[in-house]
Amino acid sequence: MSRRGLSLNVGLTQAAVDVLRYLKMHYDYRRLSSIMSISPSTLSRYVTGKTLPRAKNARKILEKSFEIVNPKKIVEEYFGDDLDVEQGVHISHDAQTLKILASYALNVFMGTRVNSSLSLDIPSIPLASCFSSLIGGSLFFALDRPIWHDDDYLEVSYRSAETRRTERLWFPLDLVKKNSSIVIFTSFILSMSPLREVLKTLERHKTHVSGVFTLVTLKEVWEKLSVTPGCKRVALLIYDKSE
């Protein structure tokens, strides 16, 4: 097996165990066994760490788990019915929830070529980090000022929807290295910028974007968001402000 394949199998195993431990807080082993079609004793060994599921069982656990675990409901508990961003970003402090969301992202992008993640805002760094850990890939993040050596970063300019001023984001140059295949993570997409400009910059550098994963967004923005062919868009919670 290739090093990449081995890394993904390890990530699958860890994701399956993380989700099982979450479910164990809500269901007993008998109920979980009926859901997973895996014996209670085997599930107990997985949860306690006495043994780890092989790739086949790990995939089954993830697929079955997300038939009963609703990531949308989890995110809604933080952002509320009316999109409270200030409250919602506290989700980034909940390690258990982040593991579940990262496992969901792994399940969504399974079979897609991905070797790194990019966080567009500070609150999404923990989620992107969890995902990168599962895929055995690199983690990159955007900052509002450069912290890298001269000529060792990328600068992206965009027009802020809030301030109407030109703002900038900086990324490490390694983000666009050869054969990079990225999933972009963000806590919220409330306007086209800066994601639109970041996507254009990555396209200009011939960097493949496998997906965009956001916790929340606005319906009118999400419907207009254009991505390159082959890029999968995932929004866990879409708010319709026109209602």
How many other C-beta atoms are found inside a 10 Å radius of the C-beta of residue 217?
24
Q: What is the pLDDT of residues 202-225, one digit of tens each?
A: 999 999 999 999 999 999 999 999
Distance between first and last Cα of the chain = 52
For residue 214, which amino acid is it?
A: T
Higher pLDDT pick, 178 / 21 = 21
Please tell me the distance from the alpha carbon of residue 75 to that of residue 96, in angstroms, as a whole number: 13
Please tell me the distance from the alpha carbon of residue 192 to that of residue 158, in angstroms, as a whole number: 10
Q: What is the pLDDT of residues 56-80, one digit of tens each?
A: 899 999 999 999 999 999 999 999 9
Position of tokens 């085997």?
42
What are the structural domain ranges in the chain?
Answer: 1-69, 70-239
Please tell me the distance from the alpha carbon of residue 17 to that of residue 25, in angstroms, as a whole number: 13
pTM comes to: 0.91
Higher pLDDT pick, 219 / 10 = 219
Q: What is the pLDDT of residues 131-184, one digit of tens each?
A: 999 999 999 999 988 888 777 888 999 988 777 899 999 999 999 987 889 999
Domain 70-239, CATH number (from 3.90.1150.10, 2.60.40.1170, 3.40.50.2020, 1.10.630.10)? 3.40.50.2020
Listed in sequence order, the residues at least 6 apart from 19 whose beta carbon sits closer than 8 Å to its beta carbon are 61, 62, 65, 66, 69, 99, 100, 103
Cα–Cα–Cα angle for 164, 167, 169, rounded to 5 degrees: 150
- pLDDT at residue 148, rounded to an integer: 80
Higher pLDDT pick, 178 / 106 = 106
Q: Which residues of 86-110 are buried (b: 16+ CB within 10 A; e: fewer)?
A: eebbebbeeeebbbbbbbbbbbbbb
The angle, 0 to 180 degrees and rounded to 10, between the axes of the packed helices 125-135 and 3-24 is: 120
User: Strand (E) positions, 1-87?
Assistant: none
- Assess if CATH 1.10.260 describes domain 1-69: yes
Pick from 189, 168, 182: nearest CA to 210: 182
Residue pair 147/212 in contact by the 8 Å Cβ criterion: no
Q: How far is CA 142 from CA 62, 171, 172, 185, in A?
A: 30, 5, 8, 11
- pLDDT at residue 166, rounded to an integer: 93
Q: How does strand 153-159 pair with strand 166-172?
A: antiparallel
